Structure 1
Amino acid sequence: MSEQTQEHFDLVVRAERAVVTGGAEPEPAAVGIRDGRVAALLTGSAVAEADEWTGREEVRLGPDEVLVPGFVDNHVHVNEPGRTEWEGFATATRAAALGGVTTIIDMPLNSIPPTVDVDALRVKQEAADGQCFVDVGFWGGAVPGHVGDLAALHEAGVFGFKCFLIDSGVPEFPPLEPEEFAEQLAEVARLGALMIVHAEDPGDIAAAPDCHGGRYADFLASRPRRSEERAIGQLLDGVRATGARAHLLHLADGDAVPALQEARAEGLPLTVETCPHYLTFTAEQIADGHTEFKCCPPIREADSRDALWAALADGTIDIVASDHSPSEPSLKQLESGDFGTAWGGISGLQVAVPAVWTGAAGRGHTLGDLVRWMSTRPAELAGLGSKGEIAVGKDADLVAFAPDETWVVEPEQLRHKHRLTPYAGLELRGAVRSTWLRGVPVGERPAGRFLRRTT
Structure 2
Amino acid sequence: MDVGTMGGLTGGHGGRPDLVLRGRAVLPEGERPAAVAVTGGTIVAVGPADARFDAVEDRTLCPDEVLIPGLVDTHVHVNEPGRTEWEGFATATAAAAAGGVTTIVDMPLNSIPPTVSPEALDVKRAAAAGAAAVDVGFWGGAIPSSLGSLRALHDAGVFGFKCFLAPSGVDEFPHLDRTQLDAALDELAEFDGLLIVHAEDPDELPHGYGGGRGYAGYLASRPDGAEVAAVEHVVEGVRRTGGRAHVLHVSSAEVLPVLRAAKADGLRVTAETCPHYLTFTDTDVPDGATRFKCAPPIRGSRNQDLLWEALDDGTIDLVVTDHSPSTVELKTAGGGDFAAAWGGIAGLQLGLAAVWTQAERRGVPLASVVGWMASATAGLVGLDDRGAIVPGRRADLAVLAPDAELVVDATRLEHRNPVTAYDGAQLRGVVRETWLAGAPARPGVGRGALLDRPTHVALTAT
| TM tier, smaller | over 0.9
Q: Which residue of 2 aligns with 1:18?
A: 25
Matches of 1:145 and 1:390, distance apart in 2: 42
Q: Which residue of 1 aligns with 2:120?
A: 120
Structure 1 residue 252 displacement after superposition: 0.4
The reply to whether residue 373 of structure 1 matches residue 378 of structure 2 is no
Structure 1 residue 293 displacement after superposition: 0.4
Deviation sequence 1:284-338 (CA, Å, 0-9, x none)? 1211000000000011111211111110111100000000000011112356200
Deviation sequence 1:105-156 (CA, Å, 0-9, x none)? 0000100000001000000000111000000000010111212331111112
Structure 1 residue 55 displacement after superposition: 2.3
Deviation sequence 1:12-37 (CA, Å, 0-9, x none)? 1111x11123xx32112111111111
Q: Which residue of 2 aligns with 1:302?
A: 301
Q: Which residue of 2 aligns with 1:234?
A: 233
Q: Which residue of 1 aligns with 2:413?
A: 414
Structural mapping, 1:249-264, within 5 Å:
249-264=248-263
Matches of 1:225 and 1:211, distance apart in 2: 19
The reply to whether residue 40 of structure 1 matches residue 45 of structure 2 is yes
SS in 2 for 1:349: coil
CA contact (8 A) 2:333 2:342 kept: no
Deviates more, 1:260-269 or 1:61-70: 260-269
CA contact (8 A) 2:79 2:87 kept: yes
Matches of 1:68 and 1:177, distance apart in 2: 42
CA contact (8 A) 1:98 1:435 kept: yes
- Please state which structure has a larger fraction of its residues in helix: 1
Q: Which residue of 1 aligns with 2:344?
A: 345
Structure 1 residue 58 displacement after superposition: 2.4
Matches of 1:382 and 1:446, distance apart in 2: 23
Deviates more, 1:234-243 or 1:144-153: 144-153
The reply to whether residue 54 of structure 1 matches residue 57 of structure 2 is no
Q: Which residue of 1 aligns with 2:161?
A: 161
CA contact (8 A) 2:333 2:340 kept: no
Matches of 2:185 and 2:250, distance apart in 1: 20
Decide which of 8, 11, 17 is 1:9's aligned counterpart: 17
Q: Which residue of 2 aligns with 1:364?
A: 363
CA contact (8 A) 1:208 1:223 kept: no
Matches of 2:59 and 2:138, distance apart in 1: 33
Deviates more, 1:95-104 or 1:59-68: 59-68
Structural mapping, 1:201-350, within 5 Å:
201-205=201-205, 207-333=206-332, 336-350=335-349
The letter of the residue matching 2:19 is L
The letter of the residue matching 1:35 is G
Query: Residues 2 and 431 from structure 1, CA distance in 2 versus in 1: closer, same or farther, beyond 3 angstroms?
Result: closer
Matches of 2:428 and 2:390, distance apart in 1: 27
The letter of the residue matching 2:148 is G
Deviation sequence 1:26-70 (CA, Å, 0-9, x none)? 11211111111112222xxx444x32x122222211111111100
Matches of 1:334 and 1:405, distance apart in 2: 35
Query: Residues 211 and 311 from structure 1, CA distance in 2 versus in 1: closer, same or farther, beyond 3 angstroms?
Result: farther
CA contact (8 A) 1:104 1:137 kept: yes
Aligned-residue Cα RMSD (Å) equals 1.3
CA contact (8 A) 1:70 1:102 kept: yes
CA contact (8 A) 1:211 1:222 kept: no
Deviation sequence 1:401-450 (CA, Å, 0-9, x none)? 11111111112320000020110111101110110000001124221001
Deviates more, 1:255-264 or 1:239-248: 255-264
SS in 2 for 1:124: helix
Structure 1 residue 2 displacement after superposition: 5.0
Q: Which residue of 1 aligns with 2:200?
A: 200
The letter of the residue matching 1:254 is A
Query: Residues 186 and 300 from structure 1, CA distance in 2 versus in 1: closer, same or farther, beyond 3 angstroms?
Result: same
CA contact (8 A) 1:11 1:33 kept: yes
Matches of 2:3 and 2:420, distance apart in 1: 51
Unaligned runs of 5+ in 2: 7-14, 458-462
CA contact (8 A) 1:252 1:298 kept: yes
Matches of 1:39 and 1:91, distance apart in 2: 32
Deviation sequence 1:145-177 (CA, Å, 0-9, x none)? 212331111112211100000100000000111
Q: Which residue of 2 aligns with 1:70?
A: 70
Matches of 2:26 and 2:102, distance apart in 1: 16
CA contact (8 A) 2:277 2:299 kept: yes
The letter of the residue matching 1:345 is G
Matches of 2:398 and 2:436, distance apart in 1: 9
The letter of the residue matching 1:247 is H
Output the TM-score relative to the length of structure 1. Answer: 0.96
Structural mapping, 1:422-433, within 5 Å:
422-433=421-432
SS in 2 for 1:364: coil
CA contact (8 A) 1:26 1:368 kept: yes
The letter of the residue matching 2:357 is T
CA contact (8 A) 2:201 2:226 kept: yes
Matches of 1:5 and 1:419, distance apart in 2: 50
SS in 2 for 1:148: coil
The letter of the residue matching 2:383 is L
SS in 1 for 2:430: strand
CA contact (8 A) 2:33 2:49 kept: yes
The reply to whether residue 29 of structure 1 matches residue 43 of structure 2 is no
CA contact (8 A) 1:289 1:334 kept: no
Matches of 2:305 and 2:2, distance apart in 1: 51
Q: Which residue of 2 aligns with 1:382?
A: 381
CA contact (8 A) 1:36 1:439 kept: yes
Q: Which residue of 1 aligns with 2:110?
A: 110
Q: Which residue of 1 aligns with 2:96?
A: 96
Identity of counterpart residues, as a percentage?
53
CA contact (8 A) 2:4 2:54 kept: no
